Amino acid sequence: MSTRTPLIAGNWKMFKTCSEAVSTAAALVKSAADVSGRDVLIAPPYTALYPVSEVLAGSRVSLGAQNLFWEKEGAFTGEISAAMLASAGCRYVIIGHSERRQYFNETDETVNRRIQAALKGALIPVFCVGESEQARDSGQTFSVLDKQIKNGLKSFFAKDLEKLVIAYEPVWAIGTGKTASSRQAQEVHEFLRSLLDKSLGRELADSIRILYGGSVKPDNIAELMGMPDIDGALVGGASLNADTFSAIVHY
């Protein structure tokens, strides 16, 4: 039996003004009040982090950001540091989301620097990996993931990564309505855990939470969560509505 606490995370992407974010967060706090034995997290856009942190204070729902920059401070217009996120109430930060890799040229190397900065700043990274449709169709899923994990976690020791969360998000399943089957997702999660075992040791591999992301909905979450190596979900579209996200949280 796994001792890993499930984590259900909502990625709000570039949606919601401050007032929309506050009212969705307030509704979620209410509906998640009875949840136990699992962690819940929402990642609103930067502008809404602080107002949402006030709504989440003392609740069961944690706050995360969707990215960060690795420098502490300086002339980096438009960027935001780990300390700034922590001061806005964040506990987690999503790093290496496929939309960042695809539209903003993030690479395994910059993802690695962001993970370093997050850990230094006492934030918990939610490190995203996932293969494209083309990679899956050409049988390269495992080699792509191997490279993303090895490069993203380069130079870390197991002791640095105790809190790390990994999110497996097949790019072809994000926002497309196509979910990986629970069997496909389990196969990859098992592979990721074996990679962690080889490079960082069994203890870490057994304790790290690996989330699945890609068109998770209230009607597919229970089956996914029934898989032995799936420890939660990173939810995009279906996290924007408090009732829908709450149904996922209560799987």
The whole-angstrom distance between residue 118's C-alpha and the CA centroid of its chain comes to 13
Asked whether 229 and 190 are in contact (CB, 8 A), the reply is yes
**Residue found by looking up tokens 């420890």 in the block:** 231
Based on the shown chain and the rule CB under 6 A, indicate whether residue 64 belongs to the binding site for ligand PEP: no
Asked whether 239 and 42 are in contact (CB, 8 A), the reply is yes
Q: Which of 53, 214, 225, 249 binds ligand PEP (CB under 6 A)?
A: 214
Smallest separation, CB 155 to ligand PEP (Å): 26
Kindly provide the residue ranges of all beta strands, DSSP E only, lying in 16-142, ordered along the sequence.
Answer: 39-43, 61-65, 92-95, 124-129
Smallest separation, CB 245 to ligand PEP (Å): 10
Q: Which of 153, 236, 246, 249 binds ligand PEP (CB under 6 A)?
A: 236
Based on the shown chain and the rule CB under 6 A, indicate whether residue 232 belongs to the binding site for ligand PEP: no
For ligand PEP, the binding residues in 119-178 under the rule CB under 6 A are 169, 174-175
- CA-wise closest residue to 4 among 233, 230, 159: 230
3-state secondary structure of 119: helix
Smallest separation, CB 172 to ligand PEP (Å): 10
Q: Which of residues 104 and 157 has its CB atom nearest to ligand PEP in the complex?
A: 104
The catalytically annotated residue of 97, 99, 131, 189 is 97
Stretch that binds ligand PEP, among 79-87, 150-158, 195-203, 212-220 (CB under 6 A): 212-220
Asked whether 7 and 92 are in contact (CB, 8 A), the reply is no
CA distance 111 to 188: 20
Smallest separation, CB 248 to ligand PEP (Å): 10
Stretch that binds ligand PEP, among 23-31, 116-124, 195-203, 209-217 (CB under 6 A): 209-217
Based on the shown chain and the rule CB under 6 A, indicate whether residue 225 belongs to the binding site for ligand PEP: no
Question: Measured at CB, which residue is nearest to ligand PEP?
Answer: 236
Mapping DSSP onto H, E and C, the string for 67-90 reads CCCCCCCCCCCCCCCHHHHHHCCC
Q: Which of residues 8 and 216 has its CB atom nearest to ligand PEP in the complex?
A: 216
Asked whether 43 and 10 are in contact (CB, 8 A), the reply is yes
| Catalytic residue status for 250 | no
Q: Which of residues 11 and 81 has its CB atom nearest to ligand PEP in the complex?
A: 11
Residues in a beta bridge with 127: 95, 166
What tokens were used for 136? 């899956």
Smallest separation, CB 174 to ligand PEP (Å): 4
List the catalytic residues.
97, 169
Binding site for ligand PEP (CB under 6 A): 11, 13, 169, 174-175, 213-216, 234-238
